[in-house]
Amino acid sequence: MNMLEIKDLSVHFKSRAGTVHAVEGVNLWLEKGELLGVAGESGCGKTTTTLAIPGLLPQNAFIPKGQILFNGEDLVKKTEKEMEKVRWKQISVIFQGAMNALNPLQTVGKQMMEPILLHEPHVSKKEAEERVKELLEQVGIEKNRFTNYPHEFSGGMRQRVMIAMSLVCDPELVIADEPVTALDVMIQAQILELLKKLVKKYSLSMIMISHDLSVLCELCDKIAIMYAGRVVEYGYAREVFTHPKHPYTVKLLHSLPDIYGEKVFINGIPGYPPSLITPPAGCPFCERCTEKIPECGSRVPELVDLGGGHYAACCRQTEGRAVV
């Protein structure tokens, strides 16, 4: 059984300009112990999709349809009180930009103990302190830094603290939203290695968001590519990287610099994503797609199983024609 199964999920926002269709009909799934990468341009709905899982959407968001099955239970139907029991202990989140969100007035150790003391009342302060110190060591920080304040740590170390903090209540699923984006390249690699190590050590499942597709392909078991609120391709990382099936994924991969070869000209994808307030009638990528056929303008393609665990949402695929 899949540990997480998101079925036909839509998340909309009420705004002055109208309803923002930030996530539309998303299907995604994840087995225990798997690392799923989610990629796509800024604004495509990565954060919104993943924040819907632990029920942490902003006030003006609502879920018009869909299910989020976690170990078989639909999280969309749970009350806020029930979700409080799910957060930290079953699902934890490393938020986008989290390393700058530590309280500057409190020691790192104290902040890390808070979720334990709040969610596991039977655990003593001493035990919580021990657990925090052990996790600090697991992320490569000496335990005697327990009493340090956030400003005494570098950016990379603060991010290590946030990673350790996401594990304090021993969750099954960790959502890491752009965990390395704000860090310099050398540190990025170390943090990604650390996340991979922790996934193995604690048998975690993880969803990692990044706009850097090459990073995700290297690290993750599976990849989901999002475009304008929809998942357009999903499959094993290596397969998606070497045999992309959706024209958008192909373009994204072509826009990556070749780090081993000579300097190459990086082609952006001409054009812009469609409006999420008045979404187009057909495929959301249609306007920018060089492979389009007439029906793309009038039909939104579903995510279709192409065999081998590889899925794409493209009118050409469902027509039986190869895209690339």
Residues that bind ligand ATP (CB under 6 A): 13, 15, 20, 22, 40, 42-48, 58, 60, 96, 211, 276
> Which of Mg ion, ligand ATP, none does residue 15 bind to, with CB < 5 to 8 Å depending on kind?
ligand ATP
Residue range at the interface with Mg ion (CB under 5 A); choices 18-26, 46-54, 259-267, 297-305: 46-54
Here the tokens at position 269 are: 């994808």
Q: What's the CA gap between 321 and 258, in Å, rounded?
A: 29
Among 12, 21, 23, 47, binds Mg ion (CB under 5 A): 47
| Cα three-residue angle 148-163-235, rounded to 5 degrees | 165
50 is a contact residue toward Mg ion (CB under 5 A): no
CB closer to Mg ion, 47 vs 317: 47
- Whole-Å CA distances, 171 to 206, 275, 282: 10, 37, 40
CB closer to Mg ion, 273 vs 301: 273
Q: How far is the CB of 49 from ligand ATP (least distance, A)?
A: 7
Q: How far is the CB of 101 from ligand ATP (least distance, A)?
A: 15
Q: What's the CA gap between 154 and 145, in Å, rounded?
A: 13
Q: How far is the CB of 208 from Mg ion (least distance, A)?
A: 12
Length of the chain: 324
Q: What's the CA gap between 2 and 234, in Å, rounded?
A: 15
HSE-up of residue 182 (Cα within 13 Å, Cβ side):
16
> Which of Mg ion, ligand ATP, none does residue 21 bind to, with CB < 5 to 8 Å depending on kind?
none
> Which of ligand ATP, Mg ion, none does residue 43 bind to, with CB < 5 to 8 Å depending on kind?
ligand ATP
49 is a contact residue toward Mg ion (CB under 5 A): no
Q: How far is the CB of 20 from ligand ATP (least distance, A)?
A: 4
Q: How far is the CB of 117 from ligand ATP (least distance, A)?
A: 31
In angstroms, how far is CA 195 from the centroid of its own chain?
A: 13
Q: What's the CA gap between 68 and 45, in Å, rounded?
A: 16
CB closer to ligand ATP, 43 vs 140: 43
> Which of Mg ion, ligand ATP, none does residue 164 bind to, with CB < 5 to 8 Å depending on kind?
none
Q: How far is the CB of 12 from ligand ATP (least distance, A)?
A: 9
Edge to edge, the sheet with strand 4-15 lists: 18-30, 4-15, 61-70, 73-74
Burial of 39 (0-12, 13-18, 19+ CB in 10 A): buried
> Which of Mg ion, ligand ATP, none does residue 276 bind to, with CB < 5 to 8 Å depending on kind?
ligand ATP
Size of residue set near Mg ion by CB under 5 A? 1
Contact indicator for 187, 193 with CB cutoff of 8 Å = no
Binding residues for Mg ion (CB under 5 A): 47
